[in-house]
Amino acid sequence: MLFMSLIVSVLRASHGDSILIRADANSTKPFLILVDGGPSDCFQKKQGPKIIPGPLQECLGTLAENNIVLDLVVMTHVDDDHIGGLLRAIQAEPYQQVLGSNVWFNSGRLIASELAENIPEGTDIQIMAAGGRQTSVAQGIAFDDQLCRMGVSDRSLKIACEKIVFSWGEITILSPQEEQLRSLAKKWEHEESNLFTSGPSNDYGYSLDELLESDVFEEDKSVHNGSSIAFLIESGDAKALFLGDAHAPTICTSLRNLGYSEEEPLTVGLCKLSHHGSKANTSMELLSLIKSEVFIVSTNGLRHGLPNKRTIARIKAVSPNSSVLFNYPGLKERMFNTEELNDLGPFVQDIQGDISL
């Protein structure tokens, strides 16, 4: 008899990522993992003259009311659409307590410590804001300091192909590689990383066939995205991929090192697409190494032309029997016309509640 061992909740984190995973979900005490916190408005936002809770605050608030503490927080990398909400949460009670004391975060300080890279003082953690403004470096340093105050002292870098074993299963790190962390330590970007690989306009006016006919994969070159933590989680019979904003070649290298190939791809129930469905982060090669029941797109579609329709075309070409799920209703209707939606059928869907594997 098979048991559902993973339950995934994809929060509506605006143009960012924030995902709650319940591992060992059939037990009386599931292992709770929060992956990223979206931008700041995922935690709290203005609605007219009022300040209202965002989905992250509501999620953490429910946990706090039930005296539940997260078992693990994974902050994939330092772009604002992943860290912004967590920065707000870690500074506010009772949410700070809910975040617990087990946090994976490849901070500049940690990179310098473990890889002996010199980072100029005052540039420990550069955090890129969605509009191209760089948030205060002091915020990043404060986040790292807060982790220490919370007792998160036993910290280590998470690097590709490391395997962390738990009582309920295991997590295998697929990104970043050590050289990508060294690059992050040496070259802190001063432009918003998302714009390098996506562009402000979308490609929704083209058909899937047209996009495939002219398809040439151009790799994401963002140093920040390259430093993103991506991982495979396994619990019981369930497997899922969470790719953060990681680079496709890095994931491909890790999968091949783990023994997967085009002939014997990794089979998972769910794959959270890298970088909100950007065409620069999902290659045909990567898709040929993964056999996933569903691919998740996490974004409201209002920034940088993401997700790219070309990404969906690639998935359809390689995995026609899979489904692409969007966490915001109405997005697929903006990407595809009525005729396309009719042809695609259940291949494109909106997420309906939690996803059980």
Q: For 313-332, how does the pLDDT look when each residue is reduced to its tens digit (9 = 90+)?
A: 999 999 999 999 999 999 99
Domain 6-356 sits in which CATH superfamily?
A: Ribonuclease Z/Hydroxyacylglutathione hydrolase-like (3.60.15.10)
Between CA 31 and CA 256 the distance in angstroms is 29
Comparing CA positions, the residue from 124, 306, 52 lying closest to residue 200 is 306
Strands (E), the chain: 6-10, 19-23, 31-35, 44-47, 50-53, 72-74, 103-104, 163-165, 169-175, 230-235, 238-242, 266-272, 290-297, 323-326, 348-350, 355-356
Percent of the chain at pLDDT exceeding 90: 63
The closest of 305, 72, 323, 103 to 204, measured between CA atoms, is 305
Instruction: Give per-residue pLDDT as tens, 258-287.
Output: 999 999 999 999 999 999 999 999 999 999
The residue whose two tokens read 């259940």 is 346
Of 192-196, 243-247, 304-308, where does the model show the most confidence? 243-247
Query: Any idea what the Cα angle at residue 66 is, between residues 62 and 67, rounded to 5°?
Result: 115
Q: Strand 323-326 relative to strand 348-350: parallel, antiparallel, unpaired?
A: parallel
Give pLDDT, residue 200. Answer: 58
Helix (H, G, I), strand (E, B) or coil at 324: strand
Provide the pLDDT for residue 119: 55
User: What pLDDT was estimated at residue 121?
Assistant: 52
What is the rounded CA–CA span in Å between residue 106 and residue 158?
A: 7
b/e sequence 36-50, b meaning 16+ C-beta within 10 Å: bbbbbbbbbbeeeee
With 0.85 as the threshold, say if the pTM is over it.
yes
Phi, psi of 295 (to 5 degrees): -115, 130
- pLDDT level of residue 197 (50, 70, 90 thresholds): very low
DSSP structure class, residue 30: P
Average model confidence (pLDDT) for the chain? Answer: 87
Order of strands, sheet of 238-242, starting from the edge strand that comes earlier in the sequence? 163-165, 169-175, 230-235, 238-242, 266-272, 290-297, 323-326, 348-350
